[in-house]
Structure 1
Amino acid sequence: MPRTTTQPTGPATDTAAPRHPLASLPWEELVTSALLGTDRRPPTAPGGPAPADGPGALLDAAALHTVRRRAGLRPAVPGARPAPAPHDPRPPLPEAARQRLAQLLADRSAPNAAGRRGASPDLTELIPQWLATANRQGFRAPVALLPPLLDAARARTDLRPQALAFAGPRGLWLAALNPEWKFALRGSAGGALVPDTGDPEAVRRLWEEGLFAERIALLDTVRAQDPAAALALLTTTWSTERAEDRLMFLDSLRTGLGAADEEFLEQALSDRSRNVRATAAELLSALPSSAFAGRMADRAASCVSPDRTGTGASVAVEAPHECDAGMQRDGVVPVPPTGRGERSWWLGQLVEATPLGVWGERFGGRPAEEIVALPVADGWAGELHAAWARAAVRQRDPRWARALLGSPSAPPADSPGPASIAERSKLLAVLSQAERADWVAAFISAHGLSEAFQLLGVCTVPWTGPLGRAVVDALDIARDGGSYPWSFSGVMGLAERCLDPAEADRLEVLTTTPDEQEGASPGAGGYWSEAFQRLISTLRLRAAMEAELTA
């Protein structure tokens, strides 16, 4: 007989599991109990007893909440897709150059356990030169290498200008999608993201509503194309900007600085921010015909004049006795740094802001070389020459820079200008590329490398033949003298990046390990041999990189 199943005829029976005693507790309450511990904060439902097994009940309730939350999730609404990456019309890299870039960006070389670099080139230090060559050739960056390129630029600020130029519009597009790459949107690098400057409404909207980095990029772009339009844009919101923002915006006026900016900068001299006032004064001092420059020249001329009391020509100095309200409004800082006298501090600021052309008229038409060679009374020579040096750097005057540098073969202490190598390197940067290379080469030939590192830093790459030979000869002399090579590691690193690769074959003779001389540092010969091997291998690698990019 077939088996039959009897269906229940009464009410349906609830077969669901009994309700969990902690089911009504909010998720946040469960988290609090878990963090504090169930002994200190037992999980208890309102109106109910504490469960006997506190930890177990807590975990059960957490699992129940998790299931509920997952079951109640709704599919997320898809966001709008980003706009397509812009087209980059530049030609692609040759395959060998693309592989080389991938190798440079992936390199993680480091000194060995003993701290020695070995004879292998440091690939990360060659990235700036590779990028400079690729940009000169006009290649576009491979899309697959844009992320590591932007990561490298984020980690090293020195790479950013060249890296962002190479990344091009696609790199900027990608940077806008990743907060870690926001640096790419600052300054002139973000110029590709600003609207068409021919659309006044778009420019106004971005200036009034954009992020600070976008506004800086916009102001830099407009300033480069139309200085007057950029100044007009800045004046519309100047009074409402934060002090730190006003300072950055004011710095943008260095591009295309001219007489049309004078009125605005004069008003900025009364700004409530001391840094803004100082920057406005610096910009006005670069305008020789400005009223500010005239005021500072009058003050400085009353302090520095030809000394007519002696038999020969000399310079008389009478430093200011007070820093009045007018001087303070024109940017003269009244309180000197610790260790500086007030009068010398005020004098230096006046002379620094005075147009250098004033001194030729003041001293009977003498050229700069003769003026700086004049004896200065009462021990004011150092202060006066240092102020003239700062003025030459600020005003980019090569005649005065040349006069203050003096002969490269003379000891720095006997030169007319500042003895500080840092200040002399600033003066060198005012000269032409060829002139500064010749000056530094002569300085190294006369004085060696002990003080030349900062001077070499302002010379263009690759070094000229005379400069490169002067550096190599000085290194050879240091090696023969038994000095340790790490005393010259900074110069050696510069040589790896800046020496002409054609010099590699000529340097082979320096890779041999010389016999140790009496009194020489133990083991120095082996270190020098290794350093020159690394120099040669780096130069040959640079030559290969150049060939891959110019083939």
Structure 2
Amino acid sequence: MSLWQDVITTALVGTERRTLTLTPATNPLGQLLSQLNPTDPEATLLSAAGAISLYHRAGQRAITDNQPLPQPCPPEDKPPCSPRAAHYLKLMLQKERAKLLPEWLTTAATAGYRVPDYCLPELLEVGRTSPQLRPEILPILGQRGRWLATHNPDWNYVGDEDIEQTWTRGSLDARKLLLHHLRREHPASARERLVAVWQQEPSDGRIALLETFQIGLNREDEAFLDTALDDRRQEVRRQAANLLAQLPESALCQRMQQRIQSAITFRRRRNRLLLDFILPDYNEQEITRDGIDSKQPPQLLGNKAWMILQIVAATPLSLWSELQEESPAEWIQAAKRSEWDRSLVEGWAVAAMGQQNPEWAEVLLPFYSTFKGYLIPQNQLISGLIDVLYPEQRDSFFLNLFQSRKVAFDSKHPAFTLLTHYHSPWSTELTGTVLEGVRRYLATTDNPYDWSLSTALKEFAYFMSPDIVPELSTRLTNIVPERSALASYWTEVMDEVLAILNLRYEMNGMQKFQV
């Protein structure tokens, strides 16, 4: 019987019925066990068990891996960001100020720096869970980040720097990111790659890869997208139709234009334009191919209104001035006088966003409350229309809202809801105007319990101009009057706004990212 088996047997039977017999001291283990006190059998048993167990574990050979060692990481070709910038990144990766992460990534990439090595695992994991951040993450991974991603299947969205390797052997996510990049730099090259593999690509791959055509969409893409209208997968057909609807000169848009021309009727009363629609019997196969759903209208929307909405959304906006010499604002008023106002206004809004038409977008934005989100979710539609405006046009639009209503700024102000959808950088002037409006509100209101305003202000800080930071001390002086019923609460809110702006100001200083 082995010594270890003897220990187990004695433990099972009990020291009163069996005595543990230790081996002579012929080896180091025996020498150690010989020093145990035989007059205390329980202690002897426990001590022997511990010593034998430790002895066996210490004598085991280490597990060896016969796999060859991986190739070492190539040398870095970009400098790391500064320790201070890395500290901010670490905070964001730990979910503190996480909303600033996209801005941090863009700033670092623009400055030509990479992420410090110790942040790579967490950042790669962010890319796994947040696909929308992957295009911003890739440029700052450096060689070590790409090398690290090859050793974890969860990070396979990071492709090889060799374009051919990524396209032929990369995961679907990696190939999609590659097309995303190529669509920005060489749209034709990206299209040719997808055309070459389109028939062999599984349906999920066709859907994912076709999404990249939203970037750099141009008239040369039409022929390929038109073939996708005949795809066996409904999602592919709908996606292709949505893309073609953003090309006013495409054959699909021209077919939509003809449908409007054949259906719309006009008359005038007291010099006011009145309109109506008489929809003909469309060929079911033809309209379905063009992405029109004629069978399943959304709740509270009739079949005819649903058809009009979809056709208008895919019709070139230039048609309306050709039909009648009316401005976009006059067309909207005409729609308001008809029974199809919801379909027309939302259809025009979808068309303005897709066709990137700033003239129509500016006129439609004040009617945001009528958007029901039948084709595009309401929040996305409002944000999309704001993004369509030129940067200076956005500022003018919002500043005009403030000038037209020279009142204190609170959640009931006409600019408030639209500002909550303005997710692009604000100008210094707009930032100052909003802060001044808040100061006026707090100085004059008898009811400071505007929780919507206080919550929104913390969100606004992520888009306000950080260039205002040097003069914030004067702008924020006495912004919260001492007589305010919630002085301490509003002071905390403004301190939070100031903290976010200060951090963004430091981030946007390129020297802060230097080594």
TM-score (norm 2): 0.74
Find the residue that maps to 1:82 and give its secondary structure: coil
Give the C-alpha shift of residue 278 in structure 1.
1.0
Paired residue type of 1:134: A
Deviation track 1:98-128 (CA, whole Å, cap 9, x = no partner) reads: 45544x347666xxxxxxxxxxxxx444444
1:138-149 correspondence to structure 2 within 5 Å: 138-149=112-123
CA 1:542–1:303: 2 relative to 1, 3 Å = same
Separation in 2 of the partners of 1:473 and 1:449?
Answer: 11
1:468 corresponds to which residue?
431
- Whether 1:440 and 2:398 are equivalent positions in the alignment is yes
Q: Identity of aligned pairs, percent?
A: 28
Specify which of 248, 261, 270 is matched with residue 230 of structure 2: 270
Aligned partners of 1:92 and 1:141 also within 8 Å: yes
Deviation track 1:495-542 (CA, whole Å, cap 9, x = no partner) reads: 4333332342124423655225xxxxxx52220122123333443444
Find the residue that maps to 1:144 and give its secondary structure: helix
Deviation track 1:368-426 (CA, whole Å, cap 9, x = no partner) reads: 344334366542223212111111111111122123236xxxx87799xx9x7764433
- Whether 1:487 and 2:452 are equivalent positions in the alignment is yes
Give the C-alpha shift of residue 211 in structure 1.
2.3
Aligned partners of 2:346 and 2:370 also within 8 Å: no
5+ residue gaps, structure 2: 7-51
Give the C-alpha shift of residue 285 in structure 1.
1.7
Separation in 2 of the partners of 1:340 and 1:474?
Answer: 39
1:505 corresponds to which residue?
473
Deviation track 1:465-508 (CA, whole Å, cap 9, x = no partner) reads: 33112321332244342323643233221343333323421244
CA 1:533–1:173: 2 relative to 1, 3 Å = same
1:533 corresponds to which residue?
495
- Whether 1:296 and 2:256 are equivalent positions in the alignment is yes
Separation in 1 of the partners of 2:365 and 2:95?
Answer: 41
Find the residue that maps to 2:275 and give its secondary structure: strand
1:356 corresponds to which residue?
317
Separation in 2 of the partners of 1:230 and 1:157?
Answer: 20
Moved more, 349-358 or 537-546: 537-546
Find the residue that maps to 2:448 and give its secondary structure: coil
1:343 corresponds to which residue?
304
CA 1:270–1:74: 2 relative to 1, 3 Å = same
Separation in 1 of the partners of 2:503 and 2:70?
Answer: 43
Separation in 2 of the partners of 1:279 and 1:259?
Answer: 16
1:1-40 correspondence to structure 2 within 5 Å: none
- Whether 1:257 and 2:217 are equivalent positions in the alignment is yes
Give the C-alpha shift of residue 297 in structure 1.
0.8
Paired residue type of 1:345: W
Separation in 2 of the partners of 1:72 and 1:537?
Answer: 56
Give the C-alpha shift of residue 151 in structure 1.
4.3
Aligned partners of 1:194 and 1:218 also within 8 Å: no
CA 1:332–1:105: 2 relative to 1, 3 Å = closer
Moved more, 259-268 or 370-379: 370-379
CA 1:485–1:386: 2 relative to 1, 3 Å = closer
Aligned partners of 1:262 and 1:284 also within 8 Å: yes
- Whether 1:429 and 2:352 are equivalent positions in the alignment is no
CA 1:444–1:132: 2 relative to 1, 3 Å = farther
1:280-295 correspondence to structure 2 within 5 Å: 280-295=240-255
Separation in 2 of the partners of 1:473 and 1:298?
Answer: 51
Specify which of 140, 159, 173 is matched with residue 166 of structure 1: 140
Specify which of 342, 345, 348 is matched with residue 388 of structure 1: 348
Find the residue that maps to 2:81 and give its secondary structure: coil
Separation in 2 of the partners of 1:243 and 1:437?
Answer: 43
Find the residue that maps to 2:248 and give its secondary structure: coil
Where in structure 1 do 4 or more consecutive aligned residues deviate above 6 Å?
15-20, 70-74, 411-415
2:360 corresponds to which residue?
400
Paired residue type of 1:527: Y
- Whether 1:217 and 2:191 are equivalent positions in the alignment is no
Aligned partners of 2:328 and 2:360 also within 8 Å: yes
Paired residue type of 1:132: T
Find the residue that maps to 1:302 and give its secondary structure: helix
Find the residue that maps to 1:316 and give its secondary structure: strand
CA 1:79–1:387: 2 relative to 1, 3 Å = same
CA 1:356–1:131: 2 relative to 1, 3 Å = same
Paired residue type of 2:398: V
Separation in 1 of the partners of 2:218 and 2:93?
Answer: 46
Paired residue type of 2:175: R
Aligned partners of 1:134 and 1:166 also within 8 Å: yes
Paired residue type of 2:66: V
CA 1:322–1:477: 2 relative to 1, 3 Å = farther
Separation in 2 of the partners of 1:153 and 1:214?
Answer: 12
Deviation track 1:36-70 (CA, whole Å, cap 9, x = no partner) reads: xxxxxxxxxxxxxxxxxxxxxxxxxxx99xx99x9
Aligned partners of 1:484 and 1:528 also within 8 Å: no
Separation in 2 of the partners of 1:125 and 1:280?
Answer: 32
Deviation track 1:247-293 (CA, whole Å, cap 9, x = no partner) reads: 11222223343333323222221222221111111111222222222
- Whether 1:515 and 2:483 are equivalent positions in the alignment is yes
CA 1:99–1:233: 2 relative to 1, 3 Å = closer
Aligned partners of 1:304 and 1:316 also within 8 Å: yes
1:317 corresponds to which residue?
276
CA 1:333–1:425: 2 relative to 1, 3 Å = same
Aligned partners of 1:130 and 1:545 also within 8 Å: yes
1:331 corresponds to which residue?
291
Find the residue that maps to 1:282 and give its secondary structure: helix
Paired residue type of 2:463: C
Paired residue type of 2:359: R
1:308 corresponds to which residue?
267
Aligned Cα root-mean-square deviation (Å)? 3.8
Aligned partners of 2:458 and 2:496 also within 8 Å: no
Aligned partners of 1:300 and 1:350 also within 8 Å: yes
Specify which of 93, 107, 114 is matched with residue 81 of structure 2: 93
Paired residue type of 1:318: F
1:39-54 correspondence to structure 2 within 5 Å: none
Find the residue that maps to 1:141 and give its secondary structure: coil
CA 1:220–1:375: 2 relative to 1, 3 Å = closer
Separation in 2 of the partners of 1:498 and 1:354?
Answer: 33
CA 1:328–1:498: 2 relative to 1, 3 Å = closer
CA 1:443–1:158: 2 relative to 1, 3 Å = farther
CA 1:541–1:368: 2 relative to 1, 3 Å = closer
